[in-house]
Amino acid sequence: MIPAKPHKEYQQQLDLLLDRGMVIGDQARAMRKLSQVGYYRLSGFWYISRIIRTSDEGFSYRTDEFLSGTSFEQAYDLYLYDKKLRMLMMNALERLEIHIRSVIAHEVGRFHPLAYRMEEFINPKFLRGSRSNFEEWLSKQDKKIADCRDECIQWHMRENKEIPFWVAVETWDFGQMSRYYAMLNGRMQAKIIQRFGLDNKITFSKWLSCLNLLRNRCAHHSRIWNRTHPPVPIPNNEFFDRLGLNSHTNERLYSAICIIWYMVKMIGPSSTWLRQVVELIDNKPNLPGCKFEAMGLPRSGFPRSRFGSDLGFVIADNEPIDQAANNEN
């Protein structure tokens, strides 16, 4: 195996960046940020500013040299920008997660309070094998219940009462929810997607997988502004037809934003979430190599005009956003 790179002290890391052409206006602050965040984590944000060259064999590669004008301050601003994006995504994803699991519990639970434990609601292909997918899911569900310290679960345990569907979902995370929906039979899936104005069961399953991946990246503090995800299917309806989604955008952050906004609007028509996202995106740091296209957006930025009345108030109203008002009406 190729030996690991040698350890470098913070001053050596700073000197390396300077040698490679990075502009560092405040070296003391840069040293402090390297010690707080880590060189390797920050390197993911200045990677796009490394010069691309072509080898004699015709292959493109990134050198260690930085594009002219690349500064540590801009790279750190991009790090903070990505953090703010993650926080906005988590704000909406939390709301969607709670809503979706509530819908699943209501639509399936009406057939039986313990429907989540019953095979009759599961697609037969997930019941095959010596240890089926559903058995594995149920085993994880039982462990979540056993480990849960929420009063709603503890009360049922103390009273020796069976835990109904609408209580059990309080132990779910996004992945548990996504996997359960994917295993449901077509009849149950149809009842759930009808609540979201959709007519394709696979579309909703892939949406949940995409949002779960985004949620995990946000929860684990991973970059999201320039990451890809498996392509998501886009319905043919009035909302999505005007958004300019294509094979490139369908695997980038813009498509996830469109899906989230579609669903958030159903829960809270007066939500200001998209407004906050747009205003943040408009303030993207001007780091060399940092382009809107990496998020799946047009070169000019967020396509406000394609959202029509959804963003009319953003264009006409420049007042500061009241961050304290979450507006969940």
- The DSSP-derived string for 188-231 is HHHHHHHTTT---HHHHHHHHHHHHHHHHHHHTT---TT---S-
Residues 194-244 have pLDDT tens digits of 999 999 999 999 999 999 999 999 999 999 999 999 999 999 998 999 999
φ, ψ for residue 184, nearest 5 deg: -60, 150
Do residues 240 and 92 both lie within one domain?
yes
3 lies in a domain?
no
Residues 104-144 have pLDDT tens digits of 999 999 999 999 999 999 999 999 998 999 999 999 999 99
Q: What is the pLDDT of residue 309?
A: 66
Domain extent for 49: 10-70
Instruction: Output the pTM of the full model.
Output: 0.89
Do residues 20 and 158 both lie within one domain?
no
18 lies in a domain?
yes
Do residues 31 and 168 both lie within one domain?
no
Do residues 66 and 114 both lie within one domain?
no
Do residues 50 and 162 both lie within one domain?
no
Q: Quick check: 197 and 240 in contact, CB under 8 A?
A: no
233 lies in a domain?
yes
Q: Quick check: 65 and 21 in contact, CB under 8 A?
A: yes
The whole-angstrom separation of Cα 75 and Cα 79 is 6
Do residues 22 and 160 both lie within one domain?
no
Do residues 125 and 255 both lie within one domain?
yes
Q: State the Cα angle at 169 between 168 and 171, rounded to 5°.
A: 80
Do residues 28 and 134 both lie within one domain?
no
